[in-house]
Amino acid sequence: MTSGVYAIVNRNGHCYIGSAVDLHKRWTGHRRDLRECVHHCGHLQKAWNKYGEPSFMFTRLEECPPQDCTRREQWWIDLLRPAYNVCQMATSPLGVRRSDATRAKISAAMMGRKRPLMIGKKMSPETKAKLSAAMTGRKHSAETRTKMTGRKHSAEAKAKMRLAWQIRRGV
């Protein structure tokens, strides 16, 4: 797990700057939200929709201890003046205790969003047994099995995956 400051850079030169305790996990979250058109940053979402995913690159600006992330993020924001950051102040919601009224508003706003319900939750042994029983005996159709058998990635797909891996690793 690597903490630090990152940028999401568009080919046109505009960028979004942020910091995270786990850079890989944060980038995965950004990409998921952008693909589902539910990203918290409207400017970045509109650019993603207009230019497409291939126009964006995740870049690690610097690695730093978690306690320094917000301070270093602010330094990078002041230096680069990113176009997609709505707020030019680096702040972190970590440790903030929200009121019951605020939590109710956030809950209401999240209703209807596509999110897996079980993220971060543990299932009881009874629930696991019920799911196992429900899935027992289920099989893919013959057509689906045919599609899955011998399936290979194209050269283009392999090149894209290689590039994504190199960007993620900062190579």
State the pLDDT at residue 151: 72
Count: domains in the chain:
1
Please report, for the domain that includes residue 36, its CATH number: 3.40.1440.10
| Residue 161 in domain | no
Pick the more confident residue, 116 or 105: 105
pLDDT of 6-44, one tens digit each? Answer: 999 999 999 999 999 999 999 999 999 999 888 988 899
Domain span at 55: 4-116
| Residue 171 in domain | no
| Residue 125 in domain | no
Q: What is the DSSP string of the chain?
A: ---EEEEEEETTS-EEEEEESSHHHHHHHHHHHHHTT--S-HHHHHHHHHH-GGGEEEEEEEE--GGGHHHHHHHHHHHH--SS-S-SS----TT----HHHHHHHHHHHTT----TTTT-PPPHHHHHHHHHHHTT----HHHHHHHTT----HHHHHHHHHHHHHHHT-
In this predicted structure, the answer to whether residue 137 has a pLDDT above a threshold of 90 is: no
pLDDT of 54-111, one tens digit each? Answer: 999 999 999 999 889 999 999 999 999 999 988 888 876 666 678 999 989 988 887 7
| Residue 165 in domain | no
In this predicted structure, the answer to whether residue 168 has a pLDDT above a threshold of 80 is: no
State the pLDDT at residue 52: 93
